[in-house]
């Protein structure tokens, strides 16, 4: 059974994924499995039944050491300039496992050759979040007197207020914007509602009513538009690149994902509930929230409001009297 081609296994897998993956995830699967099948083809492996665990291990090793992917994937959109990060390699392993698990479930093969494919160790890195003064610099770099500047300003503030994923922002619809919340579709096309601060709600309303070029794209329901239509994930990342260049901020990565981490940290620092935060971020498990988004939340941040949340406030504690200065001197 052919791996690639119009009637190949890979094409059927991607068609099946269309109904349960976001556009961003689908692009990731297509790109990473394209790298795999390109590598396998360069070694003469073109049939599904021919794929062995040794082939997959060799591919992962080659990928982790390679600085040039064009040798086995000539249609690659961009040339690798350095060895991929361990997290990138781990992402490939997850996608490969998902593909071959699907092949087993569809009874195309009896066993997955990726079942014993080891996951590379990924170093735990703390993502530095934005300080308030850095956010102010980023906002100040947007020229709000122009349509593009006001749009970019709104994007920054909306991400700061909601912590939504960049893919969710790109797919946000005008019909899903409400006075107190927005409705988004996250991973696995799961629908959820995210609250809006009143000031952000007014800002978003003003952008849609005054600055959004709706007359140029009357049939487009997505909120954020550019010169050619709805902004893609790549288009939003370009917004952050412009902001990074204009603001001159250093020491922190200027990206939508950093804004998501910043939202999470300050939500908790301001007294927000971890369970509610997990739901607003779109996590299926609160442990994911704690493990991924609390790396930059230090114990010094946690203790600031200790007195406000301590259970001691609910019980009667004997209040000690201050000792007089005379007695204190005798002691």
- Residue 186: the pLDDT is 75
Write the burial class of residue 325 (CB in 10 Å: 0-12 exposed, 13-18 middle, 19+ buried).
exposed
From 241, 244, 239, select the one nearest 224 (Cα to Cα): 239
Pairing status of strand 191-195 against strand 181-185: antiparallel
Q: Contacts by 32-37 with C-beta closer than 8 Å and gap 24+?
A: 32/91, 32/92, 32/95, 32/96, 33/95, 33/96, 33/99, 34/73, 34/75, 35/63, 35/69, 35/72, 35/73, 35/76, 35/92, 36/92, 36/96, 37/3, 37/4, 37/10
- Residue 47: the pLDDT is 94
In the predicted model, residues of the chain with pLDDT beneath 50 are 69-79, 299, 302, 306, 309-310, 312-313, 325, 328
- Residue 324: the pLDDT is 52
pLDDT digits (tens, 9 = 90+) for 20-35: 777 778 888 998 999 8
Collapsing DSSP to helix, strand or coil, 95 comes out as: helix
- Residue 75: the pLDDT is 46
Collapsing DSSP to helix, strand or coil, 232 comes out as: coil
Write the burial class of residue 79 (CB in 10 Å: 0-12 exposed, 13-18 middle, 19+ buried).
exposed
Q: What is the DSSP string of 205-228?
A: HHIIIIIS-TTTSTT--BS-EETT
- Fold of the CATH domain 132-304: hpI Integrase; Chain A (1.10.443)
pLDDT digits (tens, 9 = 90+) for 8-64: 999 999 999 887 777 778 888 998 999 899 999 999 999 999 999 999 999 999 888
Q: How far is CA 188 from the centre of its chain?
A: 14
- Residue 185: the pLDDT is 83
Q: Which helix (H) or strand (E) holds 230?
A: strand 229-230
244-266 core/surface letters (b: 16 or more CB in 10 A; e: else): beebebeeeebbbebbbbbbbbb
Per-domain residue ranges of the chain: 9-105, 132-304
């Amino acid at each position: 059974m052919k791996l690639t081609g119009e009637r190949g296994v890979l094409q059927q897998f991607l068609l099946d994924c269309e109904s349960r993956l976001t556009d961003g995830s689908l692009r990731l699967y297509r790109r990473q499995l394209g790298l795999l099948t390109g590598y396998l083809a360069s070694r003469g492996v073109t049939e599904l039944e021919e794929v062995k665990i040794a082939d997959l291990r060799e591919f992962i090793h080659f990928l982790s050491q390679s600085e040039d992917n064009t040798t086995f994937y000539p249609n690659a959109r961009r040339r690798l300039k350095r060895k991929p990060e361990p997290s990138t390699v781990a992402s490939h392993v997850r996608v490969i496992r998902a593909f071959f698990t699907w092949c087993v479930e569809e009874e195309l093969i009896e066993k997955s050759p990726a079942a014993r494919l080891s996951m590379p160790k990924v170093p735990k890195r703390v993502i530095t979040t934005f300080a308030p003064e850095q956010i102010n610099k980023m906002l100040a770099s947007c020229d709000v007197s122009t349509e593009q500047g006001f749009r970019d300003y709104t994007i920054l503030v909306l991400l700061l207020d909601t912590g939504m994923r960049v893919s969710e922002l790109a797919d946000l619809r005008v019909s899903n914007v409400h006075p107190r919340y927005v409705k988004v579709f996250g991973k696995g096309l799961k629908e959820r509602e995210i609250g809006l601060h009143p000031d952000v709600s007014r800002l978003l309303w003003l952008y849609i009513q005054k600055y959004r070029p709706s007359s140029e794209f009357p049939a487009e329901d997505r909120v954020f538009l550019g010169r050619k239509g709805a902004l893609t994930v790549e288009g939003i990342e370009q917004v952050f690149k412009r902001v990074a260049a204009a603001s001159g901020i250093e020491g922190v990565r200027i990206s939508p994902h950093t804004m998501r981490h910043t939202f999470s940290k300050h939500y908790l620092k301001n007294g927000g509930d971890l369970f509610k935060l997990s739901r607003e971020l779109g996590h299926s498990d609160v442990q994911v929230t704690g493990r991924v988004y609390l790396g930059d939340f230090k114990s010094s941040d946690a203790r600031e409001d200790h007195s406000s949340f301590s259970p001691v406030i609910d019980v009667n504690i004997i209040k000690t009297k201050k000792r007089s200065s005379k007695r204190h001197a005798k002691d």
